[in-house]
């Protein structure tokens, strides 16, 4: 039977090509790495897995065959572990909530406090990710496996599914450097942005942003709008260290200390809420019903 530690070390050597590189990454000595490989080769009856050269370690034909199998074995073991943990979380009334960098969940602190007091047996685990369209799309296939509930901004989902609970209508805001010329304003207008370089999401399902961009492009031909499929940490870094302005939903917590969020004078707002599977597990049903109950009392 294979030793999983031997297999993992073997795969890292195959990928990095060096015992020393694997040793640094895994916080072990090069000799320890070599012992893992030697032990694995001994398990296979002395078959060599690497051709050891001065330039590095290259897989033999047997090594290439084992690499493909090892990838499958380790992935299968990781998935098995995940399934067991998921099953355990089900019994603990655990709800796994997906959030992106741009999810303004902090503004509902009163809701979370109320939920915790009334239903202390409901545990919440956060699963984070980017807000790329493909990521959002894959969420539908992750419900019940890796994720139970997702926080998203979407006007289209609010109209086409019953599995969406709106928490609030949120407006568009400007996310900019604290050194920007507009950083001291309490509210930003379209006229303020006439000569600015803008970063915006290319997502028509978020009406507060898409409608404002259309208005800017129609009224200010010289405006420079750079459309992004999603915002990641690099987008925030660029904005924080330049004069570019990101359009985002209001009340987002800036993920960079040099950024500041300022409301924009625009009436159209978008739906922010929770989306969940069509056939959710019992703990999710309990969670959603609890949220609806608290919202109905506000």
Q: For the chain, give the DSSP string.
A: ---HHHHHHHHHHHHH--HHHHHHHHTS-HHHHHHHHHHHHHHTTS---EEEETTEEEE-HHHHHHHHHHHHHHHHHHHHHHHHHHHHHHHTTEEEEEEETT--GGGGHHHHHHHHHH-TT-EEEEEEE---HHHHHHHHHHBTTTBSEEEEE-HHHHHH-SSEEEEEEE-EEEEEETTSTTTT-SSB-TGGGTT-EEEEE--TT-HHHHHHHHHHHHH-TT-EEEEES---HHHHHHHHTSS-EEEEETTPPPSSTTEEEEEBS----EEEEEEE-SS--HHHHHHHHHHHHHHHT-
Query: Which pLDDT score is estimated for 199?
Result: 95
| Cα–Cα distance, 80 to 88 (Å, whole number) | 12
Same domain, 106 and 79: no
Measured distance CA(173)–CA(249) in Å, rounded = 5
pLDDT at 97: 85
Residuewise pLDDT in 10s, the chain (298 residues): 788 888 889 888 888 888 888 888 888 888 888 898 899 889 888 999 998 877 788 899 998 999 888 888 888 888 877 777 666 655 567 888 887 766 666 667 788 888 888 888 888 888 776 656 566 666 666 777 778 888 888 776 655 567 888 888 889 999 999 999 999 999 999 999 998 999 998 888 788 999 999 999 999 988 999 998 888 788 889 999 999 999 988 666 667 889 999 999 999 998 888 888 888 888 888 899 999 998 888 6
281 & 145 share domain: yes
Co-location of 61 and 84 in the same domain: yes
Co-location of 179 and 262 in the same domain: yes
Q: From 88, 117, 137, give the residue that closes a domain.
A: 88
Same domain, 144 and 231: no
Place of tokens 């001065």: 54
What is the structure's pLDDT at 244?
A: 96
Total domains, the chain: 3
What are the angstrom distances between the C-alpha of 93 and each of 80, 82, 125? 20, 16, 11
- Specify whether 260 is located in the same domain as 286: no
163 and 291 both lie in a single domain:
yes
Tell me which residue of 172, 183, 170 sits closest to 239, measured CA to CA.
183
The CATH number of the domain where 65 resides is what? Answer: 1.10.10.10
Based on the fold, state whether residues 112 and 158 are members of the same structural domain: yes
Number of Cβ within a 10 Å radius of residue 149 = 24
pLDDT given at position 4: 86
Do residues 132 and 276 both lie within one domain? yes
If asked whether residues 141 and 28 sit together in one domain, one would say no
**Domain of 37, in residue numbers:** 4-88
Same domain, 13 and 137: no
- The pLDDT of residue 161: 63
Give the domain CATH number at 292.
Answer: 3.40.190.10
pTM (predicted TM-score)? 0.61
* pLDDT attached to residue 297: 83
Where a domain ends, among 68, 88, 108?
Answer: 88
At which of 57, 88, 119 does a domain end? Answer: 88
pLDDT at 130: 64
Q: According to the model, what pLDDT value does residue 151 have? A: 82
268 vs 213: CA distance, rounded Å: 12
Same domain membership, residue 285 and residue 163: yes
């Amino acid at each position: 039977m294979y030793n999983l530690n031997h297999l993992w070390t073997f795969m890292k050597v195959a990928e990095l090509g060096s015992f020393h590189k694997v040793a640094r990454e895994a916080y072990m000595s090069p000799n320890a790495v070599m012992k893992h490989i030697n032990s694995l080769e001994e398990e296979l009856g002395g078959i060599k897995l690497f051709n050891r050269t001065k330039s590095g370690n290259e897989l033999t034909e047997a090594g290439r065959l084992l690499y493909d199998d090892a990838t499958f074995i380790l992935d299968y073991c990781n998935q098995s572990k995940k399934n067991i943990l998921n099953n355990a979380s089900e019994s603990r009334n655990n709800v796994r909530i997906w959030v992106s960098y741009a999810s303004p969940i902090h503004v509902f602190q009163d809701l979370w406090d109320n939920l915790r007091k009334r239903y202390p047996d409901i545990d919440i685990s956060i699963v984070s990710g980017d807000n790329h369209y493909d990521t959002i799309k894959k969420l539908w296939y992750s419900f019940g496996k890796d994720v139970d509930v997702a926080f998203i901004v979407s006007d289209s989902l609010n109209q086409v599914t019953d599995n969406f609970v709106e928490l609030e209508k949120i407006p568009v805001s400007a996310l900019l450097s604290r050194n920007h010329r507009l950083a001291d304003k309490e509210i930003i207008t379209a006229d303020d942005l006439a000569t600015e370089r803008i970063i915006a999401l290319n997502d028509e399902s978020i009406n507060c942003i898409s409608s404002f961009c259309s208005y800017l492009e129609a009224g200010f031909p010289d405006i420079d709008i750079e459309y992004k499929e999603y915002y990641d940490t690099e987008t925030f870094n660029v904005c924080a260290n330049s004069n570019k302005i990101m359009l985002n939903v209001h009340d987002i917590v800036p993920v960079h200390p040099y950024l500041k969020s300022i409301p924009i004078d625009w009436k159209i707002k978008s739906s922010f809420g929770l989306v969940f599977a069509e056939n959710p597990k019992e703990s999710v049903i309990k969670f959603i019903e609890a949220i609806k109950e608290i919202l109905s009392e506000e």
